[in-house]
Amino acid sequence: MHTAVAVWSLVVNPGTKETVIPPSDIQIHVKGLSLGAELKDKDGRSSLKLSYEFVSPPDDDDDDDDEEKEDDGEARLVTREVILGSLTPGKIEQASVDIVLDDEDEYIFEVVGKNPVHIYGNYIRDSNRSWGDDEDDSDEEEAFHLGDVSSDVEVDPAELGGIDSDDVAMEEDSARFEEIAEEPKGKKRLAEKIDDGEKAATKAEKKAAKKQKGENGVAIPKEDSMKETKEEKKEGKKEKKKDKEEKKKEGKAAGEVKALAGGVQVKDIKVGSGPGAQKGQSIKMRYIGKLTDGKIFDSNTKGKPFVFRLGAGEVIKGWDVGVVGMKAGGERELTIPAPMAYGKRKTGDIPPNSTLKFEVKLLSIE
């Protein structure tokens, strides 16, 4: 069974060849092609060609030359080309495709025509395959991003310099992250009724206290009858003061930029509540991924949340390091240097050696 992991896309321009190598244990499901918003040739047809290699057994050799057959005693590496689709402005501007690119195989895309062709789909993984254990893979050179892998990281994270905290920016409007749980109808009104009932009960207690009498029939002094109520108020003030101090501490923690392993930097915008996320737990997240120039290359802000197991190597190392300790409802900024993300490899719209920034919100921990 295949499970979608993250969105994948690629733009192929005329005159250039784009090489795609799906990362280890991850496949790419190509779903469609389309023309871009701007056309260089408004009448001509543009076709997308795919070139790939595969191992051909000796039986595939149709050559009648006996000497060549003797040389083909072993399997051969054969290159094949196929046209995935042809697009014409005003006639066919989008085409459906249904192919899967296997992990660690090389695929070359090329446009025959004058218009750029956009390819889109998603990363997938086989749920029947093993995806590692809960041990920390920080010593490995491979990095994972939302199910993607970088295999060419050569920079030692210890050699990284500090990252300017001014580069870490978060939009104030956190409402752009869609919540997955809705408050039941009437809940607010029910809370109001409970509050009203508590107020009424307090008034009734005070009234009853005024009418209390001792064993000798003499009314109990007002001070004695209200002593318990005053003590309760005092305890309530202590609790409020304690809560205020805790919130103050959380507020200070939310404003700090912390440096973690591998040069990853985190800044809590909102602390959240409950226990912090730990390795091995299943995490539901919303996120927005940006380059340092502010360009968004990936996001999940509504619909089905992104789910992964923390510390299991299912995401880039920067996420496995930077999400630890977050609480449900918390929001955090992650600034991840290239060695903890994609390294020197170009992936989609992400250039080589890119520092990545993520705005993340933890929805729930399981």
Q: Give me the DSSP letters along 69-100.
A: HHHTSS-EEEEEEEEEEEEBTTTB-EEEEEEE
Structural tokens at position 99: 């192919």
| 316, 298 contact by CB (below 8 A) | no
Q: Indicate the helix (H) or strand (E) that contains 126.
A: strand 117-126
Q: In order along the chain (366 residues), what is the average pLDDT of each group of 10 residues?
A: 80 93 87 89 91 70 47 68 91 91 88 93 72 40 41 44 44 60 51 57 58 52 59 80 71 77 93 93 95 94 94 93 94 95 89 95 95
Q: In this structure, what DSSP letter does residue 104 have?
A: T
Q: Which of 36, 35, 30 is nearest to 47 (CA)?
A: 35
Residues designated as active site: 287, 297-298, 316, 342, 358
| 46, 129 contact by CB (below 8 A) | no
Taking the chain, what is the end-to-end CA distance rounded to the nearest angstrom?
23
Q: Indicate the helix (H) or strand (E) that contains 255.
A: helix 227-255
Distances (CA, A) of 186 to 179, 183, 191, 197, 254: 19, 9, 9, 16, 33
Q: In this structure, what DSSP letter does residue 303 have?
A: S
What pLDDT, on the 0 to 100 scale, is given for residue 109? 94
Beta bridge pairs of residue 99? 30
| 163, 318 contact by CB (below 8 A) | no
Alpha-carbon distance of 362 to 323, in angstroms, equals 9
pTM attached to this predicted model: 0.38
- Neighbour-count burial for 329-356, b at 16+ CB within 10 Å, e otherwise: ebbbbbbbbbbbbbbebebbebeebbbb
Domains (ranges, CATH) in the chain?
2-129 (2.60.120.340), 165-180+255-365 (3.10.50.40)
Alpha-carbon distance of 155 to 96, in angstroms, equals 40
For the beta sheet containing 76-87, the strands, ordered from the edge strand earlier in sequence to the opposite edge, are: 17-20, 107-112, 46-56, 76-87
What pLDDT, on the 0 to 100 scale, is given for residue 232? 77
Alpha-carbon distance of 59 to 63, in angstroms, equals 10
Q: Which of 325, 339, 324, 317 is nearest to 138 (CA)?
A: 317
What pLDDT, on the 0 to 100 scale, is given for residue 239? 82
Alpha-carbon distance of 194 to 209, in angstroms, equals 22
Compute and round to an integer the Cα radius of gyration of the chain. Answer: 31
What pLDDT, on the 0 to 100 scale, is given for residue 80? 87
